[in-house]
Amino acid sequence: PYRRKLTEDEVLDLLLEIKPVGMIAGLEPVTARVLQRAKGLRIISRCGIGLDNVDVNAAGSLGIAVTNTPDAPTEAVAELTIGLIFNLLRRISFLDREIRRGNWTKETGSLLRGKQVGIIGLGRIGKRVAETLLALGAKVAGTDIYPDYEWLQEKQVSLVSLEELLKESEVLCLHVSYTGSSEYLIGKREMEAMREGAYLVNTSRGEVIDHDALYSMLTSGHLAGAALDVFDHEPYTGRLTRLDSVILTPHIGSYAKETRLEMEVQAVENLLNALNADRDDAPEKPDSRT
């Protein structure tokens, strides 16, 4: 009924009123304060990948299991990422707006084939993006803190340092989880190290990019464009909305009907499985890698 993300107090009020043994969580804040007062809660089933809105440590200390749905969103987020890359290279959204403004503007874009694309984070989504890019004729390199060497060798994807990836990539895609160490992973220094005229695509977590630094790099012309599906504060109303070189989407990475259905089914199955399990069984640690 709210048609928006609930606040911490609203989540707490609902839990105190309903007193559930399990809950399916979206992006609303499930904090230590909420969990400490939610007596009887045994399972939080997150419908999605990221767990940065759930205090997993507090849940564990209270004996509350936490699950997520890491597999379902892979294809949808990967497809959106590829679509955003095409959009940037051919300036589709900008030219659409130009026609609507009454301007028959023709601009020469660029091909994806032959482009050097860098991927930060080669988990489920990063791998799928890489495989699709390779099939489209792009050259792919990546960096990851837990490399899958067998996959890298099989797909012939180069594993390089972050510094080299920034320097060489014509398009840079982010597919990382949000942790304290990944906040502002791409800040002013990293953007300055990027190849001049490069494009930046983020469909992972908004907090991993410094949006003020991105604005400066775009207005200076150092970066040619950016496409963002996620932001550090949502709904986003910041300065990037003023730039024609930026494509903005409202956190729709998993918003394909087939994907949402699969996520919701998985979330319900996780909830029921946890409730049916022996209470003494230690819940598996959820995998929040993208």
Cite the active site residues.
205, 234, 251
SS3 content of the chain, % helix, strand, coil (to 5): 40, 15, 45
d(CA 274, CA 276): 5
CB 182 within 8 A of CB 176: yes
DSSP 199-264: EEEE-S-GGGB-HHHHHHHHHTTSEEEEEES--SSSS--SGGGG-TTEEE--S-TT--HHHHHHHH
Q: Which residues of 263-281 are buried (b: 16+ CB within 10 A; e: fewer)?
A: beebbeebbeebeeeeeee
CB 191 within 8 A of CB 223: yes
Q: Which two tokens stand for residue 240?
A: 């990037």
Burial (CB count <10 Å: 0-12, 13-18, 19+), residue 257 = exposed
Residue in this structure with the two tokens 């809950």, named with its chain if needed: 23
